[in-house]
Amino acid sequence: MTQQRPNFLVIVADDLGFSDLGAFGGEIATPNLDKLAEAGLRFTDFHTASACSPTRSMLLTGTDHHIAGIGTMAEALTPELRGKPGYEGHLNDRVVSVAELLHDAGYRTLLSGKWHLGLTLETSPAARGFERSFALLPGAANHYGFEAPIPPEHKPRLLKTTEGLYAEDGRFVDELTDGFYSSDYFTDRLLGFFDEQHDDARPFFAYLPFSAPHWPLQAPEENVAHYLGRYDAGPEALRAERLARLKQLGLIGEGVEAHPVVARSPEWEALSAEQRAVSARSMEVYAGMVERLDWNVGRVIDYLAERGQLDNTVVLFLSDNGAEGAQLEALPVFGPNLQQVIADYYDNSLDNIGRGNSYVWYGPRWAQAATAPARLYKAHTTEGGIRTVAFVRYPGFARQGEISHAFTTVMDVTPTLLELAGVAHPGREYRGRPVAVPRGTSQLAYLNGTAEQVHADDVVTGWELFGQRAIRQGDWKAVFIPAPIGPDRWQLYDLATDPGETRDLAETEPARLATLLGHWDHYVAETGVIDYRLSFAD
């Protein structure tokens, strides 16, 4: 190619809320991400799957997670799903990753952070196209590398599935370094990979998937200190503040109606003073995690700028799903005896929350302060679970310094990067094996200003996870949320006028709902969705 091919830096935050960043309406100090977002293109209608690993499989392959092997999260595989095509629990051989294709085309491919697409070396990043990688293999882990001395027979499933398991290139890592903190260390390793090949003329594809701010909520005290007392008014006050700022920034319309908070936990006023203090401290730590993540992004951006690489680097930032609002203590799938074991082996005293030997999460009310005006949060196929913060910054795009309300999805990333790199997807065969073609669409024409939409109004997109379902065509969306969180039937929404999903039109628009349900049946047939329900998201 006569024109230099761009570098790619894809940054993923884990469970970050839509309005957590300053550039998206938040009060958390995120100057580095804000600068990138405001200089780039901020998306307000960017969609992922409703949970971590499904989104990551879609991001790296451009196709639906049921095709890519993550029909459900590996942690939630039930006996009736095991062994079924698309439910392997790892990135399967029916797909080819964007890292494999870019590496074949002469790119350096680097990963440092959370993988969550396989726990073995045969399913690790090194096996899927990354020439250098340091990876947290499971879906979460203690951010300080602390492992409480819990006898295996007493360990709840939550803590079993989040034991630290790391791999560097094609080998497991036995010990973490002293002073380990996930966001810092993942950034250190990526910068180290850059330095190892500083004289390499090849362009790079760098993937930096943080495990923050996923629970357990833990952050350096210097960052947490910036938020002491900031959240003492509670989550409803924060929600109102964030909504006002979203409208002021033009990220949502002035007349948008926010969905009411859905939670079985007590309201702020019903909590004791001690309970409010613990809840507010949990949110303070969460904010500290986000601030620390931002600081680390700044380190990478400064590195690229100092070496004259930033303006030739497409920087894409997104969260892998909506904010995490689960009451983990109430989910049977995470037991048994989760609360008691945490009480016995961790120190969740007020002054200790946020350190490595603490273990907390912040619950549904704080999460819905971050997903508002949308309905619900992570694990739900409502907008609060699947519409996420995202932006792209690259001076070569015509649309920069703008806000985009165009519908787009995480499956569009791989086709976009391939087109920018001048690399053709191999189609239905790769290295002698059959593979799926991407279901996503390149955003490039839209980013260059030659198209007004990424997807035409007749394009259909489906979602399913844990028995929760959604199907969308244009601005119309049908949603099925099982009881007890939802009504256990299909609902219909016009997202153009009701992004909060507050007005169910199923009874007044039966023909439109019927059309969408016909599309749902087609989606199931194309992707291999298996009809099942799991109390994981209750």
Q: What are the catalytic residues?
A: 52, 116
- Which residues are CB-contacts of 140 (< 8 A; sequence separation ≥ 6)? 14, 114, 161, 162, 211, 214, 215, 216
Dig out the tokens for 72 from the structure.
Answer: 């459900």
Beta-carbon-side half-sphere exposure of residue 314 (alpha carbons within 13 Å): 27
Burial 194-232 (b: 16+ CB within 10 A, else e): beeeeeeeebbbbbbbbbbbbbbbbbbeebbeebeeebe
The Cβ of residue 157 has, within 10 Å, a number of other Cβ atoms equal to: 15
Write out 119-147 in H/E/C secondary structure. Answer: CCHHHCHHHCCCCEEEEECCCCCCCCCCC
Nearest alpha-carbon partner for 415 in 434, 390, 440: 440
Q: How far apart are CA 54 and CA 68, in angstroms?
A: 9
Name all contacts of 272-280 with Cβ < 8 Å and 24+ positions apart. Answer: 276/232, 276/234, 277/350, 278/348, 278/350, 278/353, 278/360, 279/234, 279/362, 279/363, 279/366, 280/229, 280/231, 280/232, 280/234
Q: How far apart are CA 69 and CA 88, in angstroms?
A: 5
Nearest alpha-carbon partner for 112 in 371, 370, 388, 303: 303
CA distances from 330 to 133, 333, 535 (A): 36, 9, 10
Dig out the tokens for 306 from the structure.
Answer: 């100092």
Q: Say how far residue 331 (Cα) sits from the centre of its chain.
A: 21
319 sits in which H/E element: strand 313-319
**256 phi/psi in degrees, rounded to 5:** -65, 130
Q: How far apart are CA 91 and CA 95, in angstroms?
A: 8
**464: helix, strand or coil:** strand
Q: How far apart are CA 529 and CA 526, in angstroms?
A: 8
Provide the residue type at 147 as one letter.
Answer: E
